Structure 1
């Protein structure tokens, strides 16, 4: 067993810094430092384990993240990663179909799973005395699924129905979270329909399922985190007992998921027969993850679109009255921390039929053209306050589920879940000059993709009236 341990105690430390001098005014500065307890080690079979003890509530979270998401699912099998997420609830060696769900719920817990760009995750939140049961159950389905044609056919139908309900038969279905990556990106891994083409979903067969499971659902391609009320040594014993002898897999070489630099603005229109108002989304390719520019874009996200005081909300909602809500962010399927490959910073809004696209874009350009001149340390400090607030909400919310998410993501992508304790400092290192440099390099029209929804239902209503 390879052991890496980093124990830090949860604390909020208030430092009072007094500056004094003949020409200096006395000032005080309060700095809050949030520290998450992290113990990290790796089993001999490659499973990454992160333990974070918190006894404020008699609950425990078990989260298992597999390093397989939409980006690297097989070609001509779009939606396969998502389909496989559903298969994980169809039975395993010691549990029949849907018994995993029943086991959690009958023990007073909740559970879910999801498929994202770079991982598929499963979690359970249970009373702490049921932790061992959940570890046994997760290990049981990692060890082997009940892969049958009946289960596959059933879940193909479920996923196809989900696509129809959430995308094909909804106004603005898939806009912009599903649509924009297909327009803005070039590399197939980043640009395909990851929810799944109906023909591709039908084409999946048992051989595909068995191969996918054997390849990607293995301990050396996964991270396990436990957050909550538990004893460290006891949890380690259970993890070794249930996961320790699951064999590792031979992981294939990862495909190239890099995205070529965009050199000119792109603009597209999507006809929507169910929409009665136009909508618009704008996307910019993000800087590489963990670079200074990446953190600067996190600050610019707060400055431009997060909250009522954001510059685009002030312009488009308060001043112009074009829309009631500008929404967006970095990574529509999560947050700016839980992805690994190329990403878009994006925002979108609906607006009245009487308002033109040119009016919307003109107002947006007013904000963007004057942005660099407005950036100063005060603006950055205000953005950091908003980031800190959101980060603390995420880490502490839902019994610590946000904490489990970050710990698993940082283990999978960085081999360093301790990053959770350095995020705020990383933002504080960003200067106004770095923010301005990032604006010049990334918030430019040549890096921008515009997607507008053409509301055909509105046209039909006009014709009928």
Structure 2
């Protein structure tokens, strides 16, 4: 999968409304107030408009409700392969001309495949909005699907797998590996980067069928964020997208996971690694439940930042590692997925340190967590998650906002959820957090994956 473009641009301002809190302390609080105008075309395309005049740029993001999870069972990696195919030409834009169009107009672009969606976005000067809408509609209407293009992109993706996973120390650890170990349902547990034999087996009929099935307007959402006029944007969207026919979308397969009742441990031998590494994953609560938001706060308490409990224990106190990284959804954030998920953290550590020492320290933190939880700890976690939300909304010229708007439109049919997130976290009480710890941070709900370095055998072992 291509990494999202990282840019050192200045942050576009998040639109805030400041309201006076009239409680006894008379504190002033700030709340999210993202402009959201949401509607659907007759063909089913979901449209979200969110103006922001703070920068003379505009983000166009098109999200298709197809990701790794539900790709064909004998075509692992196909959703990702198809992401590449979307840049190979359409009716009015030849091969790679979409990319040239964006770059020659002073913009940047990228695409990615995630668990539950495939996305494409452009960030351009605001006077090029119509051009980008025309271009996105052109490839939604139809791709230039040829054997030459398919063969070329099969080679590109296979090389990507070799470079990023097969020939890389800690390749695929833990973002690609852990779902395959922690989950039992094939849809959540297969190699979503793609087995090389499956990538080779893809044919033109597969590509054409996949496009007609999943790249239809009634399986997509488009968000526009930035400096634009709503009336103009609506007119252009109607002009370029309304004539694209909808499609019959297959019923969603069962992607649920059974409740895990026994701890799972695995070792992955890695001849290219020079130090052992360890990842621990716990199955998440269902999205949008009180426990889901509680786990978001626990992520801040346990993993995120220098004051996180695992950081203080494993790095500052024990000196077992120099970092603890992790969170909810390694391929995005805790909001932009729509199925079973894990909260996970990982470390590398010296050969002189044992896995048991690391896990003893982890257990010390987790086992004692419930007794430490109080309102002050939750308030501090709320400050951190609030800051993270602001970063999500304002980063990369508004792309973070476009991402959440499209995700909430696809998954919840309600992009306005973006303005309720803070309040949902505030509803979490110490009692809910303790219940979440008991139900979800139990040993029998976790999977431990260890990377064993400097060995030639790269097969999974129990």
TM-score, normalised to structure 2's length?
0.95
Structure 1 position 16, deviation (Å): 4.4
Aligned-partner Cα distance in 1 for 2:73–2:93: 32
- C-alpha distance in 2, partners of 1:265/1:67? 33
Alignment map for 1:152-167 (pairs within 5 Å): 152-167=150-165
Q: Which runs of 5+ in 2 are unaligned?
A: 1-13, 458-462
Map 1:43-58 → 2, pairs under 5 A: 43-58=41-56
Contact persistence 1:79–1:201 (CA under 8 A): yes
Residues 1:62 and 2:60 are matched in the alignment? yes
CA–CA distance in 1 between the matches of 2:23 and 2:256?
Answer: 48
| Alignment gaps of 5+ in structure 1 | 1-8, 20-26, 460-465
Asked whether 1:13 is paired with 2:13, we answer no
Q: Point out the structure with max Rg over C-alpha.
A: 1
Distance 1:458 1:155, change over 3 A: closer
The aligned runs of 1:4-403 (5 Å cut-off) are 10-17=15-22, 19=24, 27-403=25-401
Q: Distance in 1 between matches of 2:255 and 2:362?
A: 31
CA–CA separation in structure 2 for the residues paired with 1:331 and 1:37: 26
Q: Report how many residues are paired.
A: 444
Matched residue, 2:406: 408
Counterpart secondary structure, 1:72: coil
TM-score (norm 1): 0.94
> 1: distance between equivalents of 2:217 and 2:253?
20
Deviation of residue 15 (structure 1)? 2.1
Q: What is the distance in 2 between the residues matched to 1:10 and 1:110?
A: 23
- CA-CA distance at 1:244 after TM superposition: 0.3
Compute the RMSD of aligned alpha carbons.
Answer: 1.2
Report the alpha carbon displacement of residue 458 of structure 1 after superposing the two structures with TM: 11
Could you give the per-residue CA deviations for residues 197-254 of structure 1, whole angstroms, max 9, x where no partner exists?
0000000000000000000000000000000000001100000000001000001111
SS in 1 for 2:74: coil
CA contact (8 A) 1:277 1:458 kept: no
CA positional deviation for 1:34 = 1.8
State the shift of 1:76 in Å: 1.1
Tell me if the contact between 1:276 and 1:458 (Cα under 8 Å) persists in the aligned partners. no
Separation in structure 2 between the aligned mates of residue 214 and residue 69 of structure 1, nearest angstrom: 15
**Equivalent-residue separation in structure 2 for 1:430 and 1:313 (angstroms):** 24
Give 1:31 deviation, angstroms: 1.6
Conserved in 1, the CA contact under 8 Å of 2:270 and 2:456? no
CA distance in 1, matches of 2:26, 2:324: 36
Q: Deviations over 1:259-290 (max 9, x none)?
A: 11101000000000000000000000000000
Aligned partners of 2:269 and 2:455 also within 8 Å: no
CA–CA separation in structure 2 for the residues paired with 1:29 and 1:94: 57
Asked if structure 2 preserves the Cα contact closer than 8 Å seen for 1:276 and 1:457, the reply is: no
Shift of 1:457: 5.9
Distance across 1 between alignment mates of 2:27 and 2:364: 35
Secondary structure of the structure 2 residue equivalent to 1:424: helix
- Deviation of residue 456 (structure 1)? 1.4
Deviation at 1:192, TM superposition (A): 0.1
Deviations 1:298-354 (A, max 9, x none): 010000000000000000000000000100000000000000000010000000000
SS in 2 for 1:270: strand
CA distance in 1, matches of 2:183, 2:128: 44
Q: Which structure would you say has the larger RCO, counting Cα contacts within 8 Å and 6 or more residues apart?
A: 2
Cα distance change, pair 18–42 in 1 and its aligned pair in 2 (3 A): closer
CA contact 1:218–1:248 (8 Å) conserved in 2 = yes
| Structure 1 position 11, deviation (Å) | 2.9
Give the Cα–Cα distance (whole angstroms) in 1 for the partners of residues 32 and 250 of structure 2. 38
| Structure-2 change in CA distance of 1:417 and 1:108 (3 Å) | same
